[in-house]
Amino acid sequence: MTVLSVNVNKIAVLRNSRGGDMPSVAQAARTCLQAGAGGITVHPRPDQRHIRPADVMELAELLQGKPQEFNIEGNPFAPAREGYPGFVALCAAARPEQATLVPDGDGQITSDHGFDLKRDGERLRPLIRELKALGCRVSLFMDDDSQDIERVAEIGADRIEIYTGPFAHDFEAGDAHAVMDRCADIARRAHAVGLAVNAGHDLSQSNLLAFLRHVPHVAEVSIGHALIGEALYAGLDTTVRRYMDIIGAVHQ
């Protein structure tokens, strides 16, 4: 069954807006796990606008010995700076089960495109090798129309994460058939060369079922922004359980 990994970045955004420790990122993660989530995702950025390295280590300790997985996302090319040791160094300290590499820049509000492996493939190869030596499964964030999927396997990664922002946009507009077909095609291509398939960005209760029914081989969905927003109304425990019900309905 597809795993739900809850991205808790937005909990840190709220905490950081006021300072102090409220709300607790760790307590939010604990609630998600108790409600049935299969993992926790964070995307610590060098500017520390939300999740900070200290949060990463606290979550690593929380998840240690548990069956659920820890997924750290980030740009492996972003240099270390004060308060941020660099992506690979952070993974070396936290030892997440999965490292998801994302080509986001400092000025981006959120991730909005996948890797161009014609440009970045050879730069990624040694970083992927280093992360795998740490015991991390490595996933690359890729666009739904990428021609580089077979190259993902060739440079040593284990998974792709389909960038689902265009799908969510078209679904809300009322016609997502073309983008769902592209996502399904990329998932089949990935599966054919031995890659597992993740998906994430702007997935929500309204669009997740349609996506999972149309796109095969999805091992994991990473959901944060919509889930935390929905939880403001219904509660975090209830919202995670509703997502688990949606995922379960796909397999009935």
Would you name the residues annotated as active-site residues?
A: 43, 73, 201
Q: Is there a contact between 208 and 171 (Cβ–Cβ < 8 Å)?
A: no
Q: Say how far apart CA 242 and CA 23 lie, in whole Å.
A: 22
Q: What share of the chain is helix, strand, coil (3-state, %, to 5)?
A: 45, 15, 35
157: helix, strand or coil: coil
| Distance between CA atoms of residues 40 and 10, nearest Å | 13
Q: What distance in Å separates the CA atoms of residue 76 and residue 66, rounded to the nearest whole number?
A: 26
Residue (of 45, 67, 4, 53) closest to 25 by Cα position = 53
Q: What token pair was written down for 186? A: 């990329």
Cα distances from 142 to residues 10, 147, 185, 200, 248, in angstroms, run 23, 10, 13, 10, 26
The Cα-based distances of 46 to 5, 11, 43, 74, 138 in angstroms read: 22, 17, 10, 9, 20
**Measuring CA to CA, how many Å separate 131 from each of 75, 127, 198?**
13, 6, 18
* Torsional class of 128: left (φ above 0), alpha (ψ -120 to 50), beta (otherwise): alpha
Q: In this structure, what DSSP letter does residue 211 have?
A: H
